[in-house]
Structure 1
Amino acid sequence: MATSYTETKTANPKRGRMMQKANVQRTIFILLAVTPAFAGYVLFTLYPNLLSVYYSLLNWNGISAPKFVGLDNYTAMLQDKYVWRALLHNLFYMVTIPVLVIGISLFLAYLLTNKGYKGTKAFKVLFFFPNVLSTVVVALLWAFIYDGSFGLLNGLLHLVGIDMNGFYWLGDTRTALSAIVPPFVWAGVGLYVVIFMNAMITIPKSLYESAVMEGAGHMTRLFRITIPLISPIIRVSAIFLVLGTLKSFDKVLILTNGGPAGSTDVIGLYMFNLAFGNEAHNYGYASAIGMFLFVILVGAKLLVDKLLPNQSYEY
């Protein structure tokens, strides 16, 4: 039976009110879902960063009345040789640690995924174990390994006929900087092994079978099939590692506190010591260095985007 004009006119406003009510409910739900996260971002990220910009324009020790000095802190920072020394150390870690972590993780993940070793799950747990340990435990463990008197490293070298005569690896300016790298790599490899393994198991085995039929070896399959197909995962991992290496200073703080003679100092640790580690605190100058570090982090992100463009491959 045909619907009359009166019935249609009556139904349309009712349907419109129902749709309007549904839109209001959807808007309320979105606001309730987003507001806590947005409030947390504003309170714990945006507000502290804006406050740091303000502090960077002050001469303030956290107790006495702050004095506005404009860009004097930035001028002093650009002339501070210790800032540039710490930045060089950061750049050294930024290049070595991500390359080693990603390279070793890819190799181990490929072996565990494509070689068919028994106990792969046990290996995943074993490799992931360092990520369960706290930063303090990892740093103290490696401090013991590098110890001159009872260290594991000197003991192993002694077994192969190399007597280090109580050499303390973290106490010599020639070796301290490089000695910081293994703790970071050891603590980071396990997580990325698990990440890369989970990415590799999504690749169809038919691709590898076809490559084997064509005579491709393991290295060819790794660089021609595996790495291209998981390149988005590698790119994100590289970004996290580069930015994390630039920001991190906790292990350096525990292992050497920037010594000996500043040979392992990094930007984050130098800023921390200026704000909290010295008797004469200088929050303004430390905040200026924090803003400098922020610019470096943005530049590092853009550099990684340039070197590792976001590409997707289909199979």
Structure 2
Amino acid sequence: MIQKQERAASLNYGNRPGWKSKEASQKWIFILMATIPAFGGYLLFTLYPNLLSVYYALLDWDGIREPKFVGIQNFIVMFEDPFVWRALKNNVLYGVIVPPFVIVVSILLSYILVYKSYRMNAVYKVLFFFPNVLSVVAVALLWAFIYDGSFGILNAGLKLVGIDVGNYYWLGEKSTAMWAIIPPTVWWAVGFYFVIFMNAMVGIPKSLYEAAILEGASHRQRLVQITFPLLMPIIRVSAIFLMLSMFKGFENILILTNGGPSGSTNVIGLYMFNIAFGTGNHNYGYASAIGMFLFVILVLAKLLIDKLTAGRDAEY
């Protein structure tokens, strides 16, 4: 009888007054303890600096002297600055050419390795991903040696096939410098997206390809009509990330050319960096205004990609 009463008491323990409120409070304490570190880091290292940049954009400040409030004067100067528009032009060229190249090359390499049973597939996977393991600095220095006019591999290779360009400095000429920056970027980025697309292709049912083979579809038709549509959500996300990195990133350009010759390879991120931290007069206010302008460009680029790829998803 006593055991039955104890058992009934234990079963009714959850119905005691205050038990549910105590359980709810413990639940909220756990949620707060789990989310506060990540949320606090986001507030401290992302949201707060971005909000501070908005404030800095309204100042004339070199980081040392007393800041002077100038309102929207920095934005007026920015829109009248020809160097900003030249850098934006280079960014558009960079952002329009590199992402499609990276995505197409990554998908082709992934398709070949997934649907072609080569004996050394594992070795090829490592080779294709290897450039992404290297730092941007190492990649830039490697390609700077390749493009070197006196000892570069590129000029030597062209000479072997009968094209003698002499001691041509690919990164030192305005006509070729911007185009010479594109191959290192594509070479470095392909490895990462190659792995992403390859893992996505493994999840596509083989029955779709088998049915297409029975109907006489070629590899090109299977790639265009099956693989691309099914990978469209991943392609969209990859295009967005690549576009953002092309507009924000400038490390390889900083090492290869530092925006030269004569600003022909300067981009928005590098121009902003040099204004804030480069040699000469520092102006954090003007650099912050350019940063706000870059933020608007990135948002518009993301919306444009969403619009261009909307309604093109396929399901299986």
Per the alignment, residue 100 of structure 1 pairs with: 101
Counterpart CA distance in 2 for 1:195 and 1:201 is 10
Q: Which moved more, 1:23-32 or 1:288-297?
A: 23-32
Deviation (angstroms), 1:125: 1.1
- How far apart are the structure 1 equivalents of 2:92 and 2:313? 29
Distance change (3 Å), C-alpha of 1:212 and 1:279: same
Aligned amino acid, residue 203 of structure 1: I
Cα distance, 1:94 vs structure 2: 0.6
Counterpart residue number, 1:222: 223
State which drifts further: 94-103 or 27-36. Answer: 27-36
CA offset at residue 310 of structure 1? 6.5
Measured in 1, the distance between the counterparts of 2:210 and 2:159 equals 47
Per the TM alignment, residue 13 of structure 1 is displaced from its structure 2 partner at its CA by: 7.1
Q: Does 1:30 find its partner at 2:31? A: yes
Match of 1:254 in 2: 255
Equivalence for 2:304: 303
Q: Aligned partner of 1:36: which letter? A: P
The RMSD of aligned alpha carbons is 1.6
**Paired amino acid for 2:46:** T
1:218-248 alpha-carbon deviations (Å, 9 max, x no partner): 0111111111112111111111000010100
Whether the 8 Å contact between 2:58 and 2:72 is mirrored in structure 1 is yes
Aligned mates of 2:164, 2:315 — CA distance in 1? 55
Q: How far off its partner does 1:210 sit? A: 0.7
User: Which segments of structure 1 move beyond 4 Å, counting only runs of 4 or more?
Assistant: none
Cross-structure match for 1:117: 118
Alignment-derived partner of residue 4 in structure 1: none
Q: CA deviation at 1:28?
A: 1.4
Is there any run of 5+ residues in structure 2 with no aligned partner, and where? 1-7
Q: Any idea what SS the aligned residue of 2:306 has?
A: helix
- Provide the residue aligned with 1:3 in structure 2: none
- Aligned residue type for 1:155: A
SS at match of 2:184: helix
Alignment correspondent of 1:72: 73
- Paired residue type of 1:292: F
User: For residues 144-169 of structure 1, what are the alpha-carbon distances to aligned partners after superposition, in whole Å with 9 as ceiling and x for unaligned?
Assistant: 00000000100000001111110000
Q: Which moved more, 1:203-212 or 1:114-123?
A: 114-123
Q: Which residue of 1 aligns with 2:152?
A: 151
Aligned to 1:168: 169
1:87-125 deviations in Å (ceiling 9; x for gaps): 000000110000100010111100111112222222111
> Do the aligned residues in 2 keep the contact of 1:94 with 1:245 (CA within 8 Å)?
yes
**Which residue number in structure 1 is paired with residue 196 of structure 2?**
195
* Secondary structure, aligned partner of 2:171: helix
Cα distance in 2, alignment partners of residues 200 and 184 from structure 1: 24
Greater mean deviation of Cα atoms: 181-190 or 120-129: 120-129
Unaligned runs of 5+ in 1: 1-6
**Hey, what's the Cα distance between the residues in 2 that align with 1:92 and 1:236?**
20
Alignment partner, residue 62 of structure 2: 61
Give the fraction of aligned pairs with identical amino acids, expressed as a percent: 62
Instruction: Report the CA distance between 1:37 and its aligned residue.
Output: 0.8
Q: What residue identity is the alignment partner of 2:223?
A: L
Question: Which residue identity does 1:258 align to in structure 2?
Answer: G
Match of 2:5 in 1: none
TM-score, L = length of structure 1: 0.94
Deviation at 1:44?
0.5
Deviation at 1:308, TM superposition (A): 1.5
TM-score computed with the length of structure 2 as normaliser? 0.94
* Cα pair 1:60 1:284 within 8 Å, conserved: yes
Shift of residue 309 of structure 1?
Answer: 2.0
Q: Which stretch shifts more, 172-181 or 14-23?
A: 14-23
Aligned to 2:62, the other structure's residue is in SS state coil
Match of residue 49 from structure 1:
50
Q: How many pairs align?
A: 308
Structure-2 separation of matches of 1:185 and 1:303: 22
Stretch deviating more after TM superposition (14-23 or 143-152):
14-23
1:98–1:242 CA contact under 8 A, matched in 2: yes
Please state whether the residue corresponding to 2:167 is helix, strand or coil.
Answer: coil
Kept in 2: contact 1:146–1:168 (CA 8 A): yes
Q: Indicate if the aligned counterparts of 2:259 and 2:266 stay in contact, CA closer than 8 A.
A: yes
More moved, 189-198 vs 301-310: 301-310
Once the two structures are superposed, what CA deviation does each residue of 1:195-226 show, in whole Å capped at 9, x if it has no partner?
10000000111111111001111011111111
Distance change (3 Å), C-alpha of 1:15 and 1:195: farther
> CA contact under 8 A between 1:232 and 1:310: conserved in structure 2?
no
- Distance (whole Å) between structure 2 residues aligned to residue 253 and residue 310 of structure 1: 39
